[in-house]
Amino acid sequence: MSNFNALSFSCSGMIVNVLERTIRGGTMHIANGKISAIDYDDKHYDTFLLPGYVDAHVHVESSMLVPSEFARMAVVHGTVGTVSDPHEIANVLGIKGVRYMVENAKHVNFKFNFGVPSCVPATTFETAGAVVSAADIRELFEQDGLKYLSEMMNFPGVLFRDESVMEKIRIAHELKRPVDGHAPGLRGEDAAKYISAGISTDHECFTLDEALDKVKHGMKILIREGSAAKNYEALHSLISSHTAQTMFCSDDKHPNDLAVSHLDEIVRRSVQKGHDVMNVLQCASVNPVVHYGLDVGLMRVGDAADFIEVNNLHEFKTLRTFIGGECVADGGKSLINRVVAPLLNNFRCSPKSPHDFRIPAENAVTVRVIEALDGQLITNEIHETLYTSNGTIQSDIERDILKMTVVNRYNDAAPAVCFIKNFGLKRGAIASCVGHDSHNIIAVGTSDEALAVAVNAIIKAEGGICVVDGDNVDVLPLPVAGIMTNEDGYKVGEAYSRIDAKAKALGSSLHAPFMTLSFMALLVIPDLKLSDKGLFSGQKFAFTPLVV
């Protein structure tokens, strides 16, 4: 039972002290947003008080919401802070986009901790809307106070000690900022060399052996469970075996999923799997605060009053969330007011025609096909023989080999086209301008005509996601950088669920078809991907021809 106001209050319950690994009845006294005293009485209380959760790596933009809306939804699930990489908007708008995120975040009581994007553009093999240089990185650290260097995706550049890559890392080390990693599949001597450059974390491990290999060399592992990338089942044993080296993150969370859960789901799942509750909460709260040096309280006297009240230590239903002593969520309802953020964008391409998506060939050909994997960012390269009609290569709906395109949104250019398997569409097309990392337009369809309609719907909206089913075209506009909206997050979640259901009605069996689609242009994750410039092999880190 608690009595509180904006300045001073007390809160009683079973106090979960994760640092000392104790659970005792007592009362926390809060004054001026900080914990002024804790009185233990060893009584039994019906609810539990514990540190709020911190998402150790998330791209807020992938929720399709501006930071203020993300915060409104996240606090309901007990999240009090994030380690946020504004890499997505930086690829569209550069440091102007980064500052947009920081400014919007200031309007809400939520502990966003933004990093400096290290790889903008992510590679030289795609067209992005901006460049973030080493000088920009220094400026964002020194003038804007950003917390860390975001995921260093250019792992070949690190391995070969590329001068421009190493300069960015050197600046971070000089200014005593942590450096985040991104090295999917890297093992052995290569992993050791990558980590030796001073890179401290990785959220891209998709096997336990890979994670253990990196832990051995001193790296901390983030267990990721997002809307599309789900590595929890492979990695959750680290919670018990390597507690101090493990954190939780979502990386990417779509708005309909965020309406249902956030890190609370990972916490609940972990305890139900038998992991010790203190180990779980250390991964969810303590480790990111300590590793990144965050100004987030851990329920010590003198700490900021950032804590949550839950019903028990099995279901972890968030009853209330407090940040800086303010109740920001109560009874499943957010108490953070909406902020109507201004719009900004970077969109310059013109409409396309069906002819733009045709691939000429006279006879049957064997082509490289992207094999999408549900719940994974990685893909496989497979080879399939396709037939031609009227001098062009045809998709094969029966074998689920469909045409995919990436269209440059920043300039008028011919679309890049290839083939993809496992999207399962039987008719129509889906398209999105959320296309990691450069956020060009990406679409999959059963015909050139449907592809053109879908792509042009995104162009007309200057960003969004859409489904084309015959004459029915449903678009969720994303007018902020073409990847976010400033609308109410819960309404956006409902709209996204509607469009997601329509995509599945076309035949897709993917858990999150739009999230999976967004990663089919992510060149830094192997193996086969498509950029606006052509088909790309992540294994070779080079372009590769469509025809085998």
The domain ranges of the chain are: 52-295, 354-543
- For residue 298, the model assigns a pLDDT of 98
> Which whole number is the average pLDDT over 27-43?
96
Picking from 439, 388, 386, the residue whose alpha carbon sits closest to that of residue 410 is 439
Is residue 74 scored above 50 in pLDDT? yes
Q: Cβ(181)–Cβ(195) under 8 Å? A: yes
Angle between helical axes of 95-105 and 134-142 (0-180°, round to 10): 20
Reduced 3-state DSSP string for 178-201: CEEECCCCCCHHHHHHHHHCCCCE
State how far the Cα of 378 lies from the Cα of 184, in Å rounded to an integer.
9
User: What is the layout of strands, in order, in the sheet containing 111-114?
Assistant: 53-58, 79-84, 111-114
- For residue 42, the model assigns a pLDDT of 83
**b vs e for 105-143, b when ≥16 Cβ sit within 10 Å of the residue's Cβ?**
bebbbbbbbbbbbbbbbbbebbbbbbebebebbbebbee
pLDDT-derived band at 158 (thresholds 50, 70, 90) equals: very high
> Which whole number is the average pLDDT over 490-503?
97
DSSP secondary structure string for all residues of 92-156: HHTHHHHHHHHHHHTTSSSEEEEPBPS-SSS-TTS--S----HHHHHHHHHTT---SEEEE--HH
- For residue 3, the model assigns a pLDDT of 42
3-class SS at 529? strand
C-alpha atoms less than 13 angstroms from C-alpha of 318 in its C-beta half-sphere: 30
In tens, the pLDDT along 297-353 reads 999 999 999 999 999 999 999 999 999 999 999 999 999 999 999 999 999 999 999
User: Letter for the amino acid at 409?
Assistant: R
In tens, the pLDDT along 219-257 reads 999 999 988 788 999 999 999 999 999 999 999 999 999
State how far the Cα of 487 lies from the Cα of 158, in Å rounded to an integer.
40
User: Letter for the amino acid at 99?
Assistant: R
In tens, the pLDDT along 257-266 reads 999 999 999 9
pLDDT-derived band at 4 (thresholds 50, 70, 90) equals: very low
Tokens of 536: 């790309």
Residue whose token pair is 């025809």:
547
Reduced 3-state DSSP string for 292-314: HCCCCCCCCCCCECCEEEECCCC
Q: Cβ(282)–Cβ(243) under 8 Å? A: yes
pTM here?
0.94
State how far the Cα of 303 lies from the Cα of 297, in Å rounded to an integer.
5
Residue whose token pair is 């460049």:
131
Maximum distance among all Cα pairs of the chain, rounded to whole angstroms: 83
CA-atom Rg of the chain in angstroms:
23
3-class SS at 288? helix
> Which whole number is the average pLDDT over 36-61?
97
State how far the Cα of 140 lies from the Cα of 262, in Å rounded to an integer.
29
Is residue 533 scored above 60 in pLDDT? yes
Structural class in CATH, domain 52-295: alpha beta
Q: Cβ(528)–Cβ(538) under 8 Å? A: yes
- For residue 539, the model assigns a pLDDT of 87
State the Cα angle at 438 between 372 and 410, rounded to 5°.
125
Tokens of 183: 């090295």
